[in-house]
Amino acid sequence: MAKGIWVVAEYQGDNVRNFSFELLSEGKKVAAELGEELVAVLLGNGLDGLADSLAQYGADKVILVESDKLSTYTTGAYTKALTEVIKAEEPSVVLFGNSIMAKDMAPRVAMRLGVGLATDSTNMVLDSGKLVFTRPIYAGKAFVNISSPDARPIMATIRPNSFSIAEPDASKTAVVEKRAVTIEDADLRTVIKETLKQASGRVELTEANIIVSGGRGVKSPEGFKVVEEVADVLGAAVGASRAAVDSGWRAHQFQVGQTGKVVSPTLYIACGISGAIQHLAGMGSSKCIVAINKDPEANIFNVADFGIVGDLFEILPLLKEEFAQLLKENQQSA
């Protein structure tokens, strides 16, 4: 009989990614209602140092799936390893963050298991004992509820920043199990020769609580300086519209939209962005949207919670000063 709520956790370097803690925090509630254990699963090599942090956010058990061929993500190796462990343990639910890795791996695992997959979900609730996932459709213009089928495991990818992170419990421990898996050379359709990293010094877009994005109205690569200055004050990530990326002002990794990254920050500040459907599909689920545009008829104002009509090069320096002052006052009163 299928048993256990699984969260496939991800990490960068020595740190577990925030959306994994979100899924554990929410998964803990589901596990408690269903009377099942909450299990965190990590794939890689040399993962011992990551288990404690997963336990603090609710994991009753941590499964470390290790192999020297899992040191770097490759589609074939990770898909085979996770599928093998799921078949052996038969969990009832498997949750992923809607990351680049999960978008590549989760559908393949679901196909090999012969089950469905609810992708890019923004909510998860229990209704009469069944899990119901909510996900946007039609470029974010509508939402659909997907009720879990009888087939197990139930699988879903969850958009980062969809759930709040619970306070960690430093006293909580978890059972740690190591699983060795056999990865043959035939399973490796690709081999990673080198990984090039570009350090921005800012939080990754999909995990950011605050994002300041620039569009065509920024006018040039140099125009992004004022956007970056506001982001630095707020400790925010910097995003860009497709128009800005296509113009060569920012790299594709900063693009927010249907053909870029889908984000759900607490605060999204759109600077000089008209609000094309493609862009709205990538940030429409933000908790609070602030739009700055000199065109009062810009479509972005139709989805914004707050709108400022004016020249962003005049408005952003004023906002930067105001934000800095407010943050200073808050620190002094704390």
The CATH number of residue 150's host domain is: 3.40.50.620
Whether residue 112 is contained in a domain is answered as yes
Same domain, 175 and 211: no
Same domain? 164 vs 246: no
Q: Is 174 inside any structural domain?
A: yes
Answer with the one of 154, 187, 220 that is the final residue of a domain.
Answer: 187
For residue 234, which amino acid is it? L
**43 and 158 both lie in a single domain:** yes
Residue 281 has which token pair? 């599909």
Task: Judge if 143 and 266 occupy the same domain.
Answer: no
Give the count of beta carbons closer than 10 Å to the beta carbon of residue 169.
11
Among residues 137, 156, 187, which one ends one of the domains?
Answer: 187
Q: Exposed, middle or buried: residue 155 (CB in 10 Å: 0-12, 13-18, 19+)?
A: buried
Q: What is the pLDDT of residue 289?
A: 97
For residues 98 and 230, what is the distance between their CA atoms, to the nearest angstrom? 28
List of residues 6+ apart from 322 with CB closer than 8 A? none
If asked whether residues 103 and 227 sit together in one domain, one would say no
Residue 194 located in a structural domain: no
pTM: 0.85
Cis peptide bond upstream of 153, omega within 30: yes
Q: Which domain holds residue 286?
A: 205-333
- Are residues 118 and 232 part of one domain? no
Q: Residue 1 has what pLDDT?
A: 47
In this structure, the answer to whether residues 180 and 236 fall within a common structural domain is no
Any residues with CB less than 8 A from the CB of 117 and at least 6 apart, and which?
Answer: 106, 107, 110, 155, 156, 157
Residues 141 and 171 grouped into a single domain: yes
Q: Residues 172, 288: one domain? A: no
| 161 and 274 together in one domain | no
CATH number of the domain encompassing residue 296: 3.40.50.1220
Q: What pLDDT sits at residue 200?
A: 59
Report the chain (334 residues): mean pLDDT per 10 consecutive residues: 86 91 96 94 92 94 93 93 96 95 96 95 90 88 86 94 92 92 82 69 86 97 96 96 96 93 95 95 94 97 96 97 92 78
Regarding whether 248 and 160 lie in a shared domain, the answer is: no
Tell whether 63 is covered by a domain.
yes
Q: Which two tokens stand for residue 63?
A: 């499964």
Does residue 41 share a domain with residue 92? yes
Q: What is the tally of structural domains in the chain?
A: 2
Q: Rounded distance, CA 95 to CA 153, Å? A: 10
